[in-house]
Amino acid sequence: MCKRNGQQTQSSLVEATKDNILLAAKLLRNGELVAFPTETVYGLGANALLEDAVSKIFKAKKRPKTNPIILHIGSFEQITLVADLENLKIFNRLNKVKDLWPGPISLILPKSKRIPYSVTAGKETLAIRIPDHPIALSLLQICNFPIAAPSANKSGYVSPTSAEHVLDLAESVSLILNGNQCKVGIESTVLDITQSKPIILREGAITKNILENILNEEVQKVTNSVDKSLSPGLHLKHYTPKTKIIFEHNLPKTVLNSKVCFLGIRKNSNQYKSFVLSENNAIDEIRRNLYSTLRKIDQLNFEYIVIDKQEFDSLEPAVLDRLSRALNI
Ligand code: TXA
Ligand code: MG
């Protein structure tokens, strides 16, 4: 339940009709939270220009105040309202990568004065993206103000890839727009173009290779040797299902087979119930199915999710990153 106009109202999951998108825009304009689909994962949106609305996001997700939020805009023309593009090097890089928008990439740029520090967790930079989803774009275009939106899950838990997943936050969200399953299924690549060399702060479907080809310069990845304070989200436990993920050799000897399931690219010949990410080893399918499968397993009564070390090592960087953090290695 949440309070709207002083009255208790049921938080609602609705079809994304024109009328409901208009209602969502109105709620956002009035400082309420609305969840909406993007091509990556569902976002928990607030009007980015209203400090009070943004603070509701942190409360709803139990998100540490130190973790900044991605700002979503509906068209490239809005960029000058949210970012400061005076630096020529940054401007030139932006001009090269902007054709990836709408798409699953967030760019770190210097923030404009209009954007409250509550969005950026006190930082002078801002993560911005234009999502590639008709419902998100329609909502953003009607709003005509930027929407701050992290993934619509409790902090630390697996991101939502369907509207039903967002019901975990039902108490705090005024409206959930249904856009069915997200086609990418993992969060956007986060690329910082304000540094001396561009740095990937979070892996995603847009890879280092793609970015180096477009930017025509070396792109780094955050490693232990690079200052991790560039990306506050990296310090946090993330993407973790309730069921413990483990390699088979670490499985306690005493655990019953019925309490163990296997998660893999293909079906495994071991004795456990198997959850398959992609029979054809198709990378898009693996990404798309990862979070929904972890959430599905969490609804069942398993103690452990076993993954195969060899398969794990063969995963693409973005999926490897999510599973490593869920495994806590
Ligand atoms: O695909 C996505 O990016 C989804 C959809 C809803 O757009 N959003 C999302 O937001 O994944 P969130 O809050 O779950 O992840 C944002 C990440 C965090 O790791 C955060 O630390 C980083 O982006 N980030 C945001 N602003 C930043 C900044 N100014 N500097 C460095 N990292 C930043
Ligand atoms: Mg998140």
Say yes or no: CB of residue 151 within 6 Å of ligand 1. Answer: yes
Contact 67, 120 (CB under 8 A): no
Residue 69 Cβ contacting ligand 1 at under 6 Å: yes
| pLDDT recorded at residue 305 | 95
**CB 161 less than 6 A from any atom of ligand 1:** no
Whether residue 9 has pLDDT greater than 60: no
* Residue 227 φ/ψ region, left for φ over 0, alpha for ψ in the -120 to 50 degree band, beta for the rest: beta
- From the CA of 303, how far away is ligand 1's center (Å)? 30
- Given a cut of 60, whether residue 154 has pLDDT beyond it is yes
Give the fold, CATH level 3, of 2-235.
Answer: DHBP synthase (3.90.870)
Copy the structure tokens of residue 82: 């949210």
Q: How far apart are CA 89 and CA 96, in angstroms?
A: 11
What would the mean pLDDT of 3-21 be, rounded to a whole number?
72
- So what's the pLDDT on residue 234? 66
Query: How far is the centre of ligand 1, averaged over its atoms, from the C-alpha of 127 (Å)?
Result: 7
On the question of pLDDT at 89 being above 50, the answer is yes
- Rounded CA-CA distance 313/85 in Å is 40
The predicted-structure confidence for 161-172, as pLDDT tens digits, reads as follows: 999 999 999 999
Q: Is 120 in the pocket of ligand 1 (CB under 6 A)?
A: yes
Percent pLDDT > 70 in the chain is 93
Bond from prior residue into 116 cis (ω within 30 degrees of 0): no
Q: Is the pLDDT of residue 230 over 80?
A: no
Structure tokens at 124: 């002078």
Which ligand approaches the C-alpha of residue 188 most closely? 1
Band of residue 176 on the pLDDT scale cut at 50, 70, 90 = very high
Domain ranges of the chain: 2-235, 244-327
Q: Which of 58, 69, 72, 176 to mutate to test the pocket of ligand 1 (most atoms within 8 A of CB)?
A: 69
**Atom of ligand 1 at shortest distance to CA of 236?**
19
pLDDT at 5 over 60: no
Q: Is the pLDDT of residue 303 over 70?
A: yes
- Rounded Cα–Cα distance for residues 245 and 238 (Å): 13
Mean pLDDT along residues 229-233: 72
Domain 244-327 falls in which CATH fold? Rossmann fold (3.40.50)
Quote the ligand 2 centre to 307 CA distance (angstroms).
23
Pocket test residue of 106, 107, 234, 287 for ligand 1, highest count of atoms within 8 A of CB: 106
Distance 207 CA to ligand 1 centre (A): 16
C-beta of 132 in contact with ligand 1 (< 6 A): no
Q: Please tell me the predicted confidence (pLDDT) of residue 1.
A: 43
More confident residue, 271 or 197: 197
C-alpha to C-alpha distance for 139 and 272, rounded to whole angstroms: 44
Give the mean model confidence (pLDDT) for residues 123-146.
97
Q: Which pLDDT belongs to residue 135?
A: 98
Bridge partner list, 105: 189
Distance 255 CA to ligand 1 centre (A): 37
- Mean pLDDT, the chain, rounded, equals 92
Q: What is the pLDDT of residue 237?
A: 63
Residue of 212, 164, 158, 169 whose CA lies nearest to 189: 212
Q: State in Å: Cα 57 to ligand 1 middle.
A: 13
